[in-house]
A and B are shown apart, each in its own frame.
Chain A
Amino acid sequence: MTGSRKGWDDRLFDIVNYLFLTVVLLATLYPFLNVLAISLNESTDTVRGGITIFPREFTFANYQAIFEYDNLVTGFMNSTLRTVIGTVLGVFSSAMVAFTLSRGDFQGRKMFSTVLVLTLYFSGGLIPGYMLMRDLHLVDSFWVYVLPGMVNAFNIIIVRSFMDGLPFALQESAKMDGANDFAIFWRIILPLCTPVLATIALFIAVGQWNSWFDTYLYNSSNPDLTTLQFELMKILQNTTVGSTDANAFRSTQGQESTAAAVSPESIKMAISMVTIIPILIVYPFLQRFFVQGMTLGAVKS
């Protein structure tokens, strides 16, 4: 019985398998490379079509053009700000609540857990939510981006299941030395939770960076509060029906090809890249954490 001896069906299976996974790999990567190539290609040349994964006439002009666009710069600032503030608040509050819920001796544990977990199963809905934000004076305000979602049950469950795995003896010895519960949390538990906190930080940060609907719903009339995704959404919505708009665009290009330097197509692709790049930068570092975090969270919930 040698492990290397394979039947024909096993060999066929391997061929089909590698073929299938290679197709998945290409189908996932190609669109990103295509967007990247177009964003780096000279705009009028792009309209000729035929760009695949390499730019034909390399240029940074599209990127320059988007940073001359005031709304986009504001949007970039706001998106960054909400990502940083939202992540700090979210991680801190999740960690703190998770710590109290991981304490078997805590009296409020059962009731508070129930209150939190139930939020996973229902929501008040769009309009009552909107009314609440209005009543709390969060409409037309930056804080609507970070406050409503700050305490998130899913993140708390993930952190808590990690904390449940830490030995309780650590806390007991600190207690002997006279440390209070907050000190135990801050000095002993928090540093040990770095992997799981990195996981939820990634979840929260990506959620913050990618959201556009809250801007659309609450702050669309105030350009000072715009976000990158919302600006991109507006540009995309104006040219959703690709063909007709591209054709219309092509005809205007013909008439005044010197005036319009950069086409909406190229702008779209360049902004898309600007929103993807920050994620690409942090992603490789955090991958092992989030896989672990996802698995823990999924098993628990």
Chain B
Amino acid sequence: METVEKKAYSKAGRSAKRRRPFWQTMKQQKYLYAMSVPFVLWVLVFNYLPLWGWTMAFQDFKPARSFWEQEWVGLEHFITLFQDERFYLVLRNTLAMSIMGLLIGFVVPIIFAIFLNEVRVQSFKRTVQTVSYLPHFVSWVVVAGIVTKMLSVDGGVVNELLMTTGLISEPVQFMTKGEWFWVIVTLSDLWKEMGWNSIIFLAAMAGIDPQLYEAAKVDGASRLRQIWHITLPGIRPTILVVLILSIGHLITIGFEKQFLLGNPTVVDYAEVLDLYALNYGIGLGRFSYGTAIGIFNSLVSIILLFLANGIFKRFANQSVM
């Protein structure tokens, strides 16, 4: 049997036999190709071509020169970067806000989903869900405006609440206090995305076999025990996948919140890697330096993603890639 097949697919025969069906199928599928190739090319231009721009980080890039006329400087920009004190401050801010965001922004939606899952009054559950998804659809520009308003010293609800409860004797200027900035960013993000991020956990909970809860009830398990022994293990795979992806995005936290909530008085706490790249790269026209910052950012995210994935693969048999 094997030999017969081998004979049939002799070297010349193989390539001829495989190629002809390929081109034939291609012709048959010409509509499918026509419907996908333009968009794949589109992605190559808008998503892959910018990678070519990474070469700028190794040049003394001048926009007026062509690629061949650029002067190559090796790792000079990276060395300057690692010698800049500002870089470490910015890295600290980036890491601080991403780790806070990861811990709070990851744990609270799970708790929120668990609480929601325990609500038996369907109309109340639906109302809370509908309302909690809403801020996700509102732009950061508006959210920043709302946050600034809520935290303001004249008439901001946060200061008023703290004053009436007697926790503070005079209003706190939250927006001008650097040490508050990380907290403000983390909590604003939580306010905006908590409901939205709970959707996936609620969906996972809906997939848990109701018989498990019935059995637990018969055994007299309390609600908390049911959550601990049924709900949490039931959503464990979802939790791990979301965690790995969040770790991968740890350093690419974006800069919208920091840009919009920050102001000159808190800049030492608000500046993150992307903003640093933006200020140097486009603000000051130091394109090569800005690109080097961007590359550092991407490399760290990729390393973190692989690390997280590797750790979880080993300890939890869970992988996203």
A interface with B by C-beta (< 8 Å): 1, 3, 7, 9-10, 13-14, 17-18, 20-21, 24-25, 27-32, 34-35, 38, 49-52, 93, 96-97, 99-101, 103, 105-108, 112, 115-116, 119, 121-132, 134, 136, 147-151, 153, 180-182, 185, 206, 209-213, 217, 229, 232-233, 236-237, 240-243, 246-247, 268-269, 272, 275-276, 279-280, 283-284, 287, 291, 294-295, 298-299
CB <8 Å contact, B36 and A101: yes
Chain A: CB-nearest residue to B194: A24
| B162 located at the interface, meaning its Cβ lies under 8 Å from any Cβ of chain A in the complex | no
Give A19 Cβ to nearest chain B Cβ, in Å.
10
Chain A contact residues: helix, strand, loop or mixed: helix
| B9 located at the interface, meaning its Cβ lies under 8 Å from any Cβ of chain A in the complex | no
Chain B contact residues: helix, strand, loop or mixed: helix
Contact of B302 among A10, A121, A213 (CB under 8 A): A121
B interface with A by C-beta (< 8 Å): 22, 25-26, 29, 31-37, 39-40, 42-54, 56, 63, 112, 115-116, 118-119, 124, 127-128, 130-135, 137-142, 144-146, 148-157, 173, 175-176, 191, 194-196, 199-200, 203, 217-218, 222-224, 248, 252, 256, 260-261, 263, 265, 274, 277-278, 281-282, 287, 290-291, 294-295, 297-298, 302, 305
CB <8 Å contact, A123 and B155: no
A-B contact pairs, 8 of them (CB 8 A): A14-B223, A32-B134, A105-B29, A106-B29, A125-B294, A151-B39, A229-B139, A242-B148
Contact of A49 among B50, B124, B155 (CB under 8 A): B155
CB <8 Å contact, B53 and A181: no
Contact of B224 among A13, A21, A112, A209 (CB under 8 A): A13
Report A-chain residues with C-beta under 8 Å of the C-beta of B51: 122, 124, 128
Report A-chain residues with C-beta under 8 Å of the C-beta of B199: 291, 294-295, 298
Q: Give the interface centre of B43, B116, B274, B278 by most chain A CB atoms within 10 Å.
A: B43
Closest 10 CB pairs of A and B: A124-B50, A128-B53, A125-B294, A210-B139, A181-B31, A242-B152, A49-B155, A128-B50, A100-B36, A295-B203
